[in-house]
């Protein structure tokens, strides 16, 4: 099967899953466009799964290419932890001192994005003085551990009611019960970054050959690394703010795309990663709210259940043991 036919097949699968995402759930809903449940809940949830699944997968692809590490993911630099810290500050600190405006979901999302951008700014600042990507990767991992420790302190001393809401947010969900006009505030930066990533195809291909080789071809490695980390930071920050932390999709999907097309060129890997991220995001969301279930499963429980075996399979298939 040619790559074009594979891509068309993936798009068809995405269309079918989008339809199922609208009609399936704990309650089966007939496809009646006058039904408020479809417009207020099912369509926004399906769109969120498509856009955020694609965005988090592209963030993972950028990280894996920049660091040339097959197990690098969106959380590798502590950016997701930064978002979590922002929400923790909003839930445990601000609300405890009576700042009630933070009860609104959108306000907590702002803090989540600010937390992610703070960590991203730190990593970008450090990257100016670090030449080796592996060294920057280690610094990012340590930054993630440091931020997580601060979050744990907030959780330990926090109010039980606030702790419950914080833990629930951390389980992840594509269902945020937000109007489409408000959701567009999240969608726009994600889609914009995805479009800009297409202009990085050639530089990312050069980096696959190694930083020394890329420099010999005249590529400004530091600049591309800076841009890629910034793009990944924005994607992770906005998506985490909207959906909470999403596990494994960012690591697993780029590998699935490469193994599906047997190509490493980003001309093909980027679009296939986008569509496969949307497909896998929809599959996980549909499983999380199968018909007949009283409630929804946590999104991260489903993504980890599906993503972890995929990563293990990739490790053995590529003989990384």
Residue 123 near residue 217 (C-beta atoms within 8 A)? no
Cα angle value 272/76/242 (rounded, 5°): 70
Cβ atoms < 10 Å from Cβ of 20:
15
Q: Where are the domains of the chain?
A: 1-43+247-321, 73-244
Residue 57 near residue 250 (C-beta atoms within 8 A)? yes
One digit per residue, the tens of pLDDT, for the chain of length 321 reads 788 899 999 999 999 999 888 887 766 666 666 677 777 788 888 999 999 999 999 999 998 888 877 777 777 778 888 888 888 887 777 655 555 444 456 677 788 888 888 888 888 788 777 777 677 778 888 888 888 888 888 888 777 777 777 888 788 888 876 777 778 888 999 999 999 999 999 999 898 887 788 888 888 888 888 898 889 888 988 898 888 888 888 888 998 898 889 888 899 999 999 999 999 999 999 888 875 556 678 888 888 888 888 878 877 776 654
Helix axes 3-23, 249-261, angle to 10 degrees: 140
CATH superfamily of 73-244: ABC transporter involved in vitamin B12 uptake, BtuC (1.10.3470.10)
- pTM for this structure? 0.86
């Amino acid at each position: 099967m040619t790559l074009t036919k594979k891509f068309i097949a993936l798009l068809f699968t995405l269309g079918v899953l989008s339809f199922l995402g609208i009609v399936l759930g704990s309650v089966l809903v007939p496809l009646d466009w006058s039904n408020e449940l479809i417009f207020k809940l099912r369509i926004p949830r399906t769109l969120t799964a498509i856009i955020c699944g694609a965005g988090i997968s592209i963030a993972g692809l950028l990280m894996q290419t920049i660091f040339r590490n097959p197990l690098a993911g969106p959380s590798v630099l502590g950016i997701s932890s930064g978002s979590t810290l922002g929400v923790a500050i909003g839930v445990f600190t601000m609300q405890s001192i009576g700042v009630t405006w933070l009860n609104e979901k959108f306000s907590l999302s702002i803090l989540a994005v600010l937390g992610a951008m703070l960590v991203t700014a730190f990593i970008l600042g450090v990257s100016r003085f670090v030449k080796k990507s592996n060294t920057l990767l280690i610094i990012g991992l340590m930054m993630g551990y440091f931020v997580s420790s601060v979050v744990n302190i907030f959780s330990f001393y926090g109010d039980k009611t606030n702790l419950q809401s914080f833990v629930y947010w951390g389980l992840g969900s594509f269902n945020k019960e937000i109007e489409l006009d408000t959701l567009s505030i999240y969608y726009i930066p994600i889609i914009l970054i995805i479009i800009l990533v297409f202009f990085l195809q050639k530089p990312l291909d050069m980096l696959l050959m190694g930083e020394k080789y890329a420099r010999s071809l005249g590529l400004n490695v530091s600049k591309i690394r800076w841009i890629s980390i910034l793009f990944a930071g924005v994607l992770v920050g906005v998506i985490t703010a909207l959906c909470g932390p999403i596990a494994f999709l960012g690591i697993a999907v780029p590998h699935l795309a490469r193994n599906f097309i047997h190509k490493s060129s980003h001309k093909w890997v980027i679009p296939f990663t986008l569509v496969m991220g949307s497909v896998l995001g929809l599959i996980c969301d549909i499983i999380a709210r199968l018909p007949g279930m009283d409630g929804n499963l946590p999104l991260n429980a489903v993504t980890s259940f599906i993503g972890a075996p995929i990563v293990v399979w990739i490790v053995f298939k590529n003989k990384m043991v």
